[in-house]
Structure 1
Amino acid sequence: MIKRSDIKQEDIIKSAIEVFSKKGFEQASMEGISKQAGVSKRTLYKYYPNKDALFEVIVDKLMCRFDDHYEVEFDPSVPIEQQLTELTLKQMCYINNEDFQITARLVMAECIRCHETSKVLVSKFESIEDSYGLQKWAQQGIDAGALEIANIPLAIEQYIGSIKAIIFWPQLITHTPPPSCEQVKATIDHAVMSFAATYKTS
C-alpha cells in the first residue's frame, strides 16, 4: 500500500520540476513550489530543507533511470545482435518518456548555468557502475571469444552515443516530442548492426 507521505512527496517533486522549468533554479522559491504542490510551506520544509535538497532529489530521480539494476549476462548460444538489441531496449526504455525529458532538460540547463549544480550531476554519474551494464556484457563476450574490443568503455560509449544522437539530444534541445517506440527500435537496430560489424569475431 502506498503511503500518503510518499504521494505527497511525489507531488512536491513534480511541482518543483514544473516551477524550476518555468522560472529557473535561482528565481524559483520554496513558497512557489508549495503553492504549485498544494501543500503548506511547513509540509514542504518537513521533507526538504531548501531548494538545493529538492534539486538533488530531482537529479536522483533522473539518475535512477540509468541505474536499473538487473543481471546482464552474455549468452554464447544467442546471436550477438539479438542480445545487444534486447539489452539496449531494456536499459533505454526511459528515452521516449516525456517526464524524463522534461527532468533531463531542467537538469542540463541548471548544470550549464551553475558550476556547483554540475558537480552534483557529475558525482551522480560517477556512482553508476558503467554504461547501462553493457561493459560487463562486452567483457563476457570477449572472454567467450565472440567479441574483439581493444577499448571497452570507448566502444560502449560510442555505441550509446550513436543512439542518443538520433533519439535523445535533438528532442531534448529542440523541445520536440519524444521519439516513438518504432523510432527507438529502428535507431537501436542500426547501431547494433554497426557495433556487430566492427567488433564481432568471424
Structure 2
Amino acid sequence: MIKRSDIKQEDIIKSAIEVFSKKGFEQASMEGISKHAGVSKRTLYKYYPNKEALFEVIVDKLMCRFDDQCEVEFEPSVSIARQLTELTHKQMCYLGNEDYQMTARLVMAECIRCHETSKVLVSKFESLGDSYGLQKWAKQGIQAGRLDISDVSVAIEQYMGSIKAVVFWPQLIAHLPPPSTDEVEHAINKAVESFVATYKVR
C-alpha cells in the first residue's frame, strides 16, 4: 500500500523538476516549489532542508534506472547478438520518457552553470559500479571464451554511446520528438552488429 507521505514526496519532486526547469536552480525558491506542489513550506522542509537536497534527490531519480535493472547473465548457448539486443531493449526503455528527458536537461544545464552541482552528478556516476548492467554480462562472456575485450568499461560506454548518439542526444538537445520504435530498433541493431564484429571470438 502506497503511503500518503510517499505520494507527497513524489509531488514535491515533480514540482521541483518543473520549477527548476522554468526558473533555473538559482532563481527557484523553496516557497515557489511548495506552492507548485500544493504543500505547505513546513511540509516541504520536513522532507528537504534546502534546494540542494532537492536537487540531489532529482539526480537520484535520474539515476534510479540502474537500481532497478534486472539480473543479467551471459548465456553461452544463446547468440551474442540476441542476448545483447534483448538486454539493450530492457535498458533503453527510459530514453523516450518525458519526465526523464526533462530531468536530464535540468541536470545538464545546472552542471554547465555551476561547478558545485556538477560534482553531485559526477559523484553519482562514479558510484555506479556497472553501468546498464552490461559490464557484468560482457565479463561473463569473456570468462566463457565468447568475447575478447581488453577494456570492458570503454567497450560498453562506446556501445551505448553509439545508440544514444542517434536516439537520445538529438532529442534531448534539440527537443525533437521521442524516437520511433523503428528508429530505436535500427540504432540498436547497428550498434549490436558493430559490437559483435569487434569483440566476438571467432
Which category of TM-score, normalised to the shorter sequence, fits these structures? over 0.9
Residue 123 of structure 1 corresponds to which residue in structure 2?
123
Ranges in structure 2 where 5+ consecutive residues have no aligned partner = none
* Identity, % of aligned positions: 80
Checking the alignment, whether the CA contact within 8 Å between 1:145 and 1:201 is kept in structure 2 is: yes
> Per-residue deviation at 1:37?
0.6
Which range is displaced more, 22-31 or 59-68? 59-68
Moved over 3 A (4+): none
Residue 168 of structure 1 corresponds to which residue in structure 2?
168
Alignment of 1:7 onto 2:7: yes
In the alignment, residue 111 of structure 1 is paired with which amino acid?
A: C
Instruction: Give the TM-score, by structure 2 length.
Output: 0.97
Determine helix, strand or coil for the equivalent of 1:95. Answer: coil
> Per-residue deviation at 1:158?
0.6
What are the within-5 Å matches in structure 2 for residues 20-169 of structure 1? 20-169=20-169
> Per-residue deviation at 1:186?
1.7
> Per-residue deviation at 1:94?
0.5
In the alignment, residue 101 of structure 2 is paired with which amino acid?
A: Q
> Per-residue deviation at 1:66?
3.1
> Per-residue deviation at 1:182?
2.6
> Per-residue deviation at 1:177?
1.8
> Per-residue deviation at 1:180?
2.3
Checking the alignment, whether the CA contact within 8 Å between 1:146 and 1:201 is kept in structure 2 is: yes
Determine helix, strand or coil for the equivalent of 1:25. Answer: coil
Checking the alignment, whether the CA contact within 8 Å between 1:134 and 1:156 is kept in structure 2 is: yes
Cα deviation, 1:103-143, whole Å, max 9, x if unaligned, reads 00001100110101011101111111122121111111111
Determine helix, strand or coil for the equivalent of 2:94. Answer: helix
Determine helix, strand or coil for the equivalent of 1:26. Answer: coil
Checking the alignment, whether the CA contact within 8 Å between 1:148 and 1:201 is kept in structure 2 is: yes
> Per-residue deviation at 1:96?
1.1
> Per-residue deviation at 1:181?
2.7
> Per-residue deviation at 1:55?
0.5
Distance in 2, matches of 1:6 and 1:177, equals 31
Determine helix, strand or coil for the equivalent of 1:76. Answer: coil
> Per-residue deviation at 1:3?
0.9
Instruction: Give the TM-score, by structure 1 length.
Output: 0.97
Distance in 2, matches of 1:42 and 1:158, equals 46
Report the RMSD for the aligned CA atoms in angstroms: 1.0
Give the aligned length. Answer: 202
